[in-house]
Amino acid sequence: MIQSGKTMNCELIPIFDDNYVFVIIDDDHQCAVVIDPGEASAVTKFLLEKKLKLSAILLTHHHHDHIGGVEELKNKFACEVYAPLKNKNQISNANYYVAEAQRITINQLTFEVKELPGHTLGHVAYWLEKQAWLFSGDVIFGLGCGRLFEGVPAQMFESLSWIKTLPAETKIFCTHEYTQTNLEFTKSILTKAEFADLVSLADLKKYEDSLKIPSVPLLLSTQRNLSLFLQTKNLEQFTKLRQLRNQF
């Protein structure tokens, strides 16, 4: 699956049961940036096959399914590693630690760091304004959001609220393929009429497109229309919805 920017494209490597590793490729210079490599072998194979130099790895948070491949890739490709400053204790092998509003330029791409706590306390996303691409780890998923392992609902509600402010055409590269499960959840808590109303907001074609596997990258405008988590009006509603999803 290829998403084209101006001279950049982003490919997805599926790993484990439902994770994606993202590879942003600069075709002109045969180099790449990898986001959240949970394991090294699939990424190594991909880079060698495409004859790409690995410039850097960006990490969104410290969970093992996002960082498990870092050490091996770093040794193999001598790349630089960026990790959230608030995860310095959990991720000791990064070259750089990044925090809110910091800008990083790699392979002519300028990533802006946005701290989005909730799933974990130190979680960051990487925003490419020019491409309107967001690498958001485990904050938002298709029709859903990440579990609150470390943060409180207010933090996740704020994090999702920020994502909602991005341009409608934003492509969201989230790390897990959970859209189908979240669709089942959505159907389980709505009446048939409510569900039909929800789909009509996005229109049927966009709704069907958003469910194709891979469903990632997500289109923000479609998520705004279809995700119950993005539609909650206040913290109370959000907290209740997240609790229901935990029990689903």
Site for Zn ion, rule CB under 5 A: 63, 138
Distance of CA 200 to the CA centre of its chain: 26
The residue (of 87 and 210) whose beta carbon lies closer to Zn ion is: 87
Please report, for residues 32, 193, 207, 208, 237, the alpha-carbon distance to residue 11 in angstroms, rounded to integers and kept in the order given.
Answer: 10, 37, 23, 22, 35
Q: Is the dihedral of CA 4, 78, 68, 117 positive or negative?
A: negative
Q: How many whole angstroms separate alpha carbon 126 and alpha carbon 88?
A: 17
CB of 202 to Zn ion, least distance (A): 27
CB 150 to Zn ion: min, Å: 10
For residues 18 and 106, what is the distance between their CA atoms, to the nearest angstrom?
A: 28
Tell me the closest approach of the beta carbon of residue 63 to Zn ion, in angstroms: 4
Q: Quick one: 74 or 119, whose CB is closer to Zn ion?
A: 119
Q: Which is nearer to Zn ion, 26 or 65 (CB)?
A: 65
CA distances from residue 193 to 51, 75, 190, 198, 221 in whole angstroms, order as listed:
52, 55, 8, 9, 22
Q: Peptide bond preceding 214: is omega within 30 degrees of 0, i.e. cis?
A: yes
Residue 19 CB, shortest distance to Zn ion, in Å, is: 10
CB of 123 to Zn ion, least distance (A): 8
**CA distance between the termini of the chain:** 30
Sheet holding 31-35, edge to edge: 2-4, 8-15, 19-26, 31-35, 53-58, 80-84, 96-98
Minimum gap (Å) between residue 192 Cβ and Zn ion: 34
Name the β-bridge partners of 135.
126, 173
Output 88 or 130, the one with its CB closest to Zn ion: 88
Helix (H, G, I), strand (E, B) or coil at 241: helix
Residue 216 DSSP label: P
Q: Tell me the closest approach of the beta carbon of residue 58 to Zn ion, in angstroms.
A: 15
Nearer to Zn ion, 77 or 82 (CB): 82
Nearer to Zn ion, 47 or 163 (CB): 163
Of 106 and 160, nearer to Zn ion (C-beta) is 160
Closest-approach residue to Zn ion (CB): 63
